[in-house]
Amino acid sequence: MMNDKLVFLGLLYFIQGIPYGLQSSLLPVYLRGAGHSLTRISLTKILYFPWVLKVLWAPLVDRTGTKRCWLVGTVAGLALTCLVSATISPDVQYMGVAGSLLAMNVLASVQDIAVDGAAVRLLRGQGELGLGNTVQVVGYKAGSVFAGGGLLAVIDVAGWGWMFALLACVYGGVALFVWGAPVLDGESARGQGEGRRGSKDVMQPWKVWRKLLSVPGTPWTMFYVLTYKLGEQGAITMFPLFLLDHHMTARELGVWNGVVAMAFSICGSSIGGFLLSQYSVGLLMRRVFMMRTVSMVFQSSLLVVLEPSPLMKGMAVLSLSLQHFIAGLITTLTFTTMMNCTQRAEESIQATHYSFLATLEVLGKLSFSALAGGMVDTVGFPIAFILFLFLTSSSALHVWRATETGVLKEQLKEQPQ
């Protein structure tokens, strides 16, 4: 039964990562090759906006219909969108490409709400939560790499139309799989009952928000997901640019920071799931956050070396690999903590609660990533990395205090099930 859950969740999170890979990696390269301006290409970032707004329609997904219906509907919608996209010529139909990607992001964000709600209900005990969240993180990253790397490698041969026709077949097959998935059997009656009880609350969103904020541990978790990656995101965004200025070519950086670093990130996420089956999430978070602080000290110390050398390049690769490994590990621990918090909520608002926390997590990462470049331009790499180190240390202290006196204290003693 557990394997069925993991396959079900892994497949859905894999296809959920495809739009991100298309938009972040494949589309910029393809559009630039087609002669579009950098301004036009950068404006495609606006199409991520449905992911920020998804918390607004999460109560509707929570309170009406079943998760199976929402999942089949959104995945089938993605298949149809890909079929339409296959008929578009990206060389001349820029707005058509933008409209297709916007539709994919809207559908994928709704799918995310439904699959997160299904995961909260399906996974029980810390062991299952750890494995489930590992599948979530790794599946999403794998889908992103498949779309942004794998399809980019073959698009010149297969062409735009055939690539989207292939994606339509993938989405269509997954829609049929979800329609018959036995792991969702038995939710229909419960979903209909909850839908009748909660239909009034959909029309009264303030009641939903009051319930969300009253869930035990929510205020601490909100602050945590907004801040836990601030320093890390600044370093992950800026350190490769420092290396590009002083030590590596763009091609070398693409290999080490793209392929190798992503492999270490996936490895860290996978090991996080295994560790959660052996140790409490509170204990792991306390130790891993201290490791991240030490890693940041090591990386910051490399900024004083400006002369290129094989030793410096090796130290930089080691720093990048360690940084992404720990980041992947922390991501799995964080999503497990978020799901632990969400499972304290009543079932009728669980998908909304988890989507709310996930939205805050995205906002925290993206907002600081956008500011990091201006910060480095203003004060320079060394001073900026001192701030990144301070934020990383503060996050470690925040987690340590929570394991001593706060919401993670019980989870520090809790044994995996």
DSSP 353-403: HHHHHHHHHHHHHHHHHHHHHHHHHHH-HHHHHHHHHHHHHHHHHHHHHHH
Q: What is the CA radius of gyration of the chain?
A: 22
Q: What type of residue sits at position 67?
A: K
List b or e across 341-372, with b for residues whose CB sees 16 or more CB atoms inside 10 angstroms: bbbebeebbbbbbbbbbbbbbeebbeebbeeb
What pLDDT shows up at residue 280? 84
Question: Which run of H or E residues covers position 4?
Answer: helix 2-21
What pLDDT shows up at residue 188? 55
What six digits make up the tokens of 240? Answer: 């490769």
Tell me phi and psi for residue 408, to 5 degrees. Answer: -90, 0
Average pLDDT over residues 111-135: 80
Q: Options 3.90.1150.10, 3.20.20.70, 1.20.1250.20, 2.40.110.10; which CATH number does 1-193 get?
A: 1.20.1250.20
Judge whether residue 1 has pLDDT over 70: no
Task: Report H helices in 247-380.
Answer: 250-253, 261-276, 281-301, 310-342, 350-379
Question: Which run of H or E residues covers position 140?
Answer: helix 125-145
Kindly give, in sequence order, each residue whose CB lies less than 8 Å from that of residue 47, ignoring residues fewer than 6 positions away. Answer: 23, 98, 101, 102, 105
Measured CA angle at 105 (ends 96, 107), to 5 deg: 105
Distance of CA 346 to the CA centre of its chain: 24
Judge whether residue 413 has pLDDT over 70: no
What pLDDT shows up at residue 187? 63
Measured CA angle at 111 (ends 105, 114), to 5 deg: 150
Distance of CA 216 to the CA centre of its chain: 24
Average pLDDT over residues 244-265: 76
Which one is predicted more confidently, 47 or 181? Answer: 181
What pLDDT shows up at residue 30? 67
What pLDDT shows up at residue 291? 95
pLDDT digits (tens, 9 = 90+) for 213-248: 888 889 999 999 999 988 898 888 788 878 877 877
Residue limits of CATH 1.20.1250.20 in the chain: 1-193, 210-411
- 210-411 folds as Growth Hormone; Chain: A; (1.20.1250)
Question: Beta-carbon neighbour count of residue 244 at 10 Å?
Answer: 14
Cβ–Cβ < 8 Å for 42, 31: no
What pLDDT shows up at residue 293? 95
What six digits make up the tokens of 38? Answer: 């950098």
Cβ–Cβ < 8 Å for 354, 339: yes
Which one is predicted more confidently, 383 or 255? Answer: 383
Judge whether residue 329 has pLDDT over 70: yes
Cβ–Cβ < 8 Å for 398, 227: yes
pLDDT digits (tens, 9 = 90+) for 386-398: 999 999 999 999 9
Q: How confident is the model at residue 196 (pLDDT cuts 50, 70, 90)?
A: very low
Determine which of 42-46, 84-88, 324-328 has the lowest per-residue pLDDT on average.
Answer: 42-46
- Per cent of the chain over pLDDT 70 is 82
Pairwise CA distance, residues 149 & 185, whole Å: 36
The shares of helix, strand and coil residues in the chain, as percent rounded to the nearest 5, are: 85, 0, 15
pLDDT, averaged across the chain:
81
What pLDDT shows up at residue 28? 66
Count, residues in the chain? 417
Average pLDDT over residues 243-272: 79
Average pLDDT over residues 68-82: 94
What pLDDT shows up at residue 189? 46
Pairwise CA distance, residues 100 & 96, whole Å: 6
What pLDDT shows up at residue 244? 77
- Per cent of the chain over pLDDT 90 is 23
Highest mean pLDDT: which of 6-15, 71-80, 138-147, 190-199?
71-80
pLDDT digits (tens, 9 = 90+) for 133-160: 788 888 888 888 788 667 766 776 778 7
What pLDDT shows up at residue 326? 95
pLDDT digits (tens, 9 = 90+) for 310-320: 888 889 999 99
pLDDT digits (tens, 9 = 90+) for 11-35: 999 999 888 878 766 676 666 666 6
Cβ–Cβ < 8 Å for 408, 285: yes
Q: Could you tell me which of 180, 212, 167, 243 has the C-alpha nearest to residue 56? A: 212
Pairwise CA distance, residues 37 & 55, whole Å: 33
What does each C-alpha distance from 48 to 21, 110, 363 come to in angstroms? 12, 13, 11
Q: How confident is the model at residue 41 (pLDDT cuts 50, 70, 90)?
A: low
Highest mean pLDDT: which of 62-76, 175-189, 247-261, 354-368?
62-76
Q: How confident is the model at residue 203 (pLDDT cuts 50, 70, 90)?
A: very low
